[in-house]
Chain A
Amino acid sequence: MLYRLFFFSLYFLFANFLNAQCCSQGSPINGTTNVGTVDKNNVRIILAHRYNYGNTYYDHTNKTDFKIAEESNFNYTSTIISYGLMKKLTLEAEVGYFFNKTLKYSFSTKTNYGFNNVVGTIKYALYKNTEKRIEITPAIGVKLPVETERRVINNVTYPYDIQTSTLAYGVVSQLFFLKRFSNNKTSLVLYNRNENNFDCIAEEYRYGSTYSLSSFVSHLFTPRIILTLQTRADYKEADFQFEKNVKNTGGFVGSVSPQVSYEIAPKFFFYSLIDIPIYRNFNGRQLSSKYSFSVSLIKNFCL
């Protein structure tokens, strides 16, 4: 039981808010991110799929009837491979692919597809106190662009807010804090993730950096099922172009994300979550995400 709880606690999924923009949810920060390190010579593979939908514009904090796009949606699949290089050091690589990223206007529909940035990360188990049941794990990584130029279809360049990656290099930093309570059934995780984007490689444009703080409270409901409630605050800076901020980009979103995890077999887990924004304060008018849901499979094994 204790082992199982310990195991589960390290694998909360981080449901990122995909930042809104003028006409869609904007260029995403990577969609599904686990936290914590893995043991030496162990490998963890996560396969996740996420669907997102939005159809409502917000002007700062309020809903508005303003519409350019009628709705937006995407399907995004990502995989994360983690390897425990040393007892305290884990290497991680994440790659994701948009099967569609769609904007429906009254006059046409635009669909893009392609790879998100690849993210390579090093995680270090900085502090682990088994008596106090506390863990602190920082991580640092790089975002590498797979696509470097905006998508062109029928000789028409697609706008920035429907691109599948940031078209630029970037830096990702994370900090993970875990506290298990004395009943050994309940855990609290605080998780901070920042993504700083550099200028686009091919054009003068920079997607705004993102800063996110989450709290996860989880409880061992049955020996195989854990219920988790994530609350999250996301802030995205405005995009930057021609030496000024791009209007109608960036802002703040607060979300809740209930999650269920189930142990299918030893070291093999199924996760699902739904992500619902409950508060928005955008810069200007933006199309907001209404909801998203995600399902994941996680497999651990020793080399």
Chain B
Amino acid sequence: MLNLANASNLSFMKNKICSFVLLLTVACTSCTKKTPEPVKIPDNNSNFEFLSLTAAKEVLVVGEQTDITATANGSGLTYEWTAPIGILSGEGKTIQFTACCEGDHPVTCKVKDSKGNSSEKTINIFANP
């Protein structure tokens, strides 16, 4: 009798643990679902070309800002900017970059056209204290 009661309690506890884990899993996964971007096949006959990535100033002091410009040929161009450290502001082919701390600040721009072609370049901005 006692064993049956223990087994029943054990089963109850297992159910509770499973429910808790399930709740946690749902909470974690329900918010991470993202719609995948449609895959475009690059068009080799387009005139797409990422020509250059240049900064108005490549050496700054911490807190100073500079313009960085991506120059590319092609149709329907979009510019994606990323930097591991520092602050990017603005959008499009020219953005403003602010150095947050001393040292190297790599800034990367990925240019895409409407025909599925893409290319990226990185420029390094150095900041003095």
In the docked arrangement, what's the CA distance between A66 and B81, Å?
A: 26
Chain A interface, DSSP helix/strand/loop, else mixed: loop
- Please tell me which one of the listed residues B32, B82, B86, B89 contacts residue A110 in the complex, with CB atoms under 8 A apart: B89
Are A85 and B16 closer than 8 Å at their CB atoms? yes
Given the known A-B contacts A68-B63, A118-B27, are A23 and B100 also in contact in the complex, defined by CB atoms under 8 Å? yes
Are B80 and A159 closer than 8 Å at their CB atoms? no
Q: B76 near A: Cβ within 8 Å?
A: no
Chain B residue at minimum C-beta to C-beta distance from A284: B101
Given the known A-B contacts A154-B91, A248-B101, are A148 and B84 also in contact in the complex, defined by CB atoms under 8 Å? no
Are B100 and A68 closer than 8 Å at their CB atoms? yes
Question: Which residues on A sit within 8 Å (CB–CB) of B78?
Answer: 155
Are A147 and B85 closer than 8 Å at their CB atoms? no
Q: B13 near A: Cβ within 8 Å?
A: yes
Would you list which residues of chain A between 111 and 130 have a CB under 8 Å from chain B?
115, 118, 120
Total number of A-B contacts with CB less than 8 angstroms?
97
Are A83 and B95 closer than 8 Å at their CB atoms? no
Are B85 and A159 closer than 8 Å at their CB atoms? yes
Please report the total number of B residues contacting A with Cβ < 8 Å: 34
Interface residues on chain A, size class? 35 or more
Are A246 and B101 closer than 8 Å at their CB atoms? yes
Q: A144 near B: Cβ within 8 Å?
A: yes
Q: A190 near B: Cβ within 8 Å?
A: no
Q: B88 near A: Cβ within 8 Å?
A: yes
- Distance to closest chain B CB from A2 (angstroms): 30
Given the known A-B contacts A83-B16, A157-B83, A159-B83, are A107 and B100 also in contact in the complex, defined by CB atoms under 8 Å? no
- Please tell me which one of the listed residues B32, B87, B103 contacts residue A23 in the complex, with CB atoms under 8 A apart: B87
Are A147 and B32 closer than 8 Å at their CB atoms? yes
Given the known A-B contacts A118-B24, A147-B32, are A159 and B100 also in contact in the complex, defined by CB atoms under 8 Å? yes
Chain A residue at minimum C-beta to C-beta distance from B16: A85
Question: Which residues on B sit within 8 Å (CB–CB) of A157?
Answer: 80-83, 88
A residues whose Cβ falls under 8 Å from a Cβ of B: 22-23, 66-68, 83, 85-86, 91, 93, 95, 105, 107-108, 110, 115, 118, 120, 144, 146-148, 150, 152, 154-157, 159-160, 203-205, 241-242, 246-248, 284-285
